[in-house]
Structure 1
Amino acid sequence: MAATEPSQVIEQFTECFNSGDLEGLASLYEDGAAFIPEPGTVSSDAAGLRAALQGFLETKGTVTIVSTSAVVKGDLALTHSHWRLDIPGGEAMEHTSAEVARRQPDGTWKYAIDNPYGGEVLG
């Protein structure tokens, strides 16, 4: 199911992640999308994106979205999510993300930029 609203990209990311669906996750990004797998690193090619997403999936964790926001201007949307990743064994990660989604020619929305760590890139 394609996202017809920017907030649906966040919802679909959560569903795909929690079901371990790498193909579904990768389909949420437009060609050439920028992904920040860790602060200080940017991947903007398909192979790098898939490798980074696979790395997150290998945690076998469960993502929970605590809260989201979206500001839409034309064909662009700035979204933020407060998310938590619970990893088996008791580990957890919690961050506030920042993403830019873009309306595609078919009317669906995909990530153009995905920064799961939000302001932490500022160091």
Structure 2
Amino acid sequence: MTAPTDPTALPSAFQDALNARDVDRVLALYSQNATMRTVTGKVISGYAALREEVEQTIAAAPHISNTTRHIIATDDTALVIVDWAMELNAPDGERVTASGTTANVASRGLDGTWRFAVLNPTGTAS
């Protein structure tokens, strides 16, 4: 999968990749040096840590729905604000729902594609 050439396509591309439970498609939407604040508050960076986080999420059989609130872009940087709701299996097997508002930063690469550089799925929530 190639990352989108329009930052407004990132939320739906992420939704489609996660709902397909495709680790590589999700990771293709992250820049090489991406950093993420996980829903538990831990800050991770680097391909190996991001892959592990995505694999753990996908192992919980997620289904996410994204609604773009707004995207503000300059030439090569975009702020991506998205409301999301996700169903997934808790460690005890119970199906649970989580929701929030992301505050993500995306960057445009030299190839013209946009990828997430900083991911914060809980936005300003603590």
Q: Shared topology, TM-score over 0.5?
A: yes
Q: Are 1:91 and 2:100 an aligned pair?
A: no
Q: 1:19-62 deviations in whole A, cap 9, x for unaligned?
A: 00000011111111111123431111110000111111111020
Partner of 1:56: 57
Long gaps (5+) in structure 2: none
What stretches of structure 1 move > 4 A for 4+ residues in a row? none
**AA aligned opposite 2:111:** D
Aligned to 1:76: 77
Cα pair 1:39 1:117 within 8 Å, conserved: no
Q: Secondary structure at the match of 1:119?
A: coil
Q: Which runs of 5+ in 1 are unaligned?
A: none
Structure 1 equivalent of residue 111 of structure 2: 106
17-26 or 89-98: bigger deviation: 89-98
| Structure 2 residue matching 1:48: 3-state secondary structure | helix
Whole-Å Cα distance in 2 between the matches of residues 61 and 37 of structure 1?
15
Secondary structure of the corresponding residue to residue 3 of structure 2: coil
CA RMSD of aligned residues (A): 1.4
In the alignment, what sits opposite 1:4? Answer: 5
**What number of residue pairs does the alignment pair up?**
121
Which stretch has the larger CA shift, 81-90 or 2-11?
81-90
Question: Any conservation in 1 of the 2:11–2:68 contact (CA below 8 Å)?
Answer: no
Q: TM-score, normalised by structure 2?
A: 0.89
Determine if contact 2:3/2:28 at 8 Å carries over to the other structure.
no
Residues of 2 paired with 1:24 and 1:99: CA distance?
18
Whole-Å separation in 1 of the counterparts to 2:116 and 2:108? 9
Aligned equivalents of 2:96 and 2:41: distance in 1? 23
Query: 1:112 corresponds to which letter in structure 2?
Result: A
1:18–1:61 CA contact under 8 A, matched in 2: yes
| Alpha-carbon shift at residue 2 of structure 1 (Å) | 2.6
